[in-house]
Amino acid sequence: MPAAAPTLAVWAGPKTAEYVALFRTAAPDIHAVAADDITDPSGIEWLAGWRLPLGYFARFPQLNVFFGLGAGVDAVLMRDDLAPHVQVVKLADAGMAPQMAEFALMGVLHWQRRMSEYSQQQAACEWKPLRPRLRADVRVSVLGLGAIGGEVARTLADFGYRVSGWSRSQKSIAGVRCMQGADALRSLLTDTNVLVNMLPSTPETRGLINHEVLAALPVSAYVVNGSRGDQLDVEALLKLLDSGHLSGALLDVFATEPLPADSPLWRHANIRITPHVAAATLPAEAVTQIVANIRRVARGEKALGAVQRQRGY
């Protein structure tokens, strides 16, 4: 690193001090400082952050690179205070993939072990064992096979499920039937017991999981959404749940967060809700990734996780 390395401004809300301390420990030669403590932000070229206040990017007219403290960058790319030339870099994983795999597995097990049906029996004080479902017979389809979605698909396959995956570009994952393209999506849906959404939020994926997609799933299929809420048509989901076509859903993300108290999703018997906790960034791992990328950028190399802004990821 050059002796006069540019300052890294950090904004992470109440976790800002924690991140600054981690950056200073991991890379003492990089001048990490809380963004709010910078009296003259006009010369700042690097900024690391997450969910910055509206208009915050405008404080840094010389900003060249923004390092996101998360895997999703859709909210950042839609902001009008982020200059078009700024390179956005997302985290590849930072400990989120194993957590997301656990979340997906929870949803798959919920369907496999028929927990929605047993919950209904409990409410009616009924004791009626149901026919078991074997892992080898459970068909799981994962939408999105990036760093996190790919790990989710791989983990579920390792557990013995019949896993298929769908993505924009061709992927190859051991034990996973990988598919791509609109025609492949249709055939994948009809061969699915549990649909797991791991797609990034882009103009092409927003609203993708609509009534047509959900209705193409077999009767009694289950939906797990741990990616972004703007991809799922919740009205269509509710209609297909109420009609009996779908058996249930595990939802962690929503178009509006926190989920409004008057949302019918809260009170639906066959929907399980978690408050956007499927996978949390592990600060130490995030800092390690960002420091490595800062060094790449300083050497004139391309950062890993650099976002193609026209594609949205």
Residue 215 CB coordination number (10 Å): 14
Residue 18 CB coordination number (10 Å): 14
Structure tokens at 192: 């699915």
- Distance CA(58)–CA(166), nearest Å, equals 38
With beta carbons less than 8 A apart as the criterion, state whether 278 and 152 touch. no
With beta carbons less than 8 A apart as the criterion, state whether 8 and 47 touch. yes
Tell me the catalytic residues: 228, 276
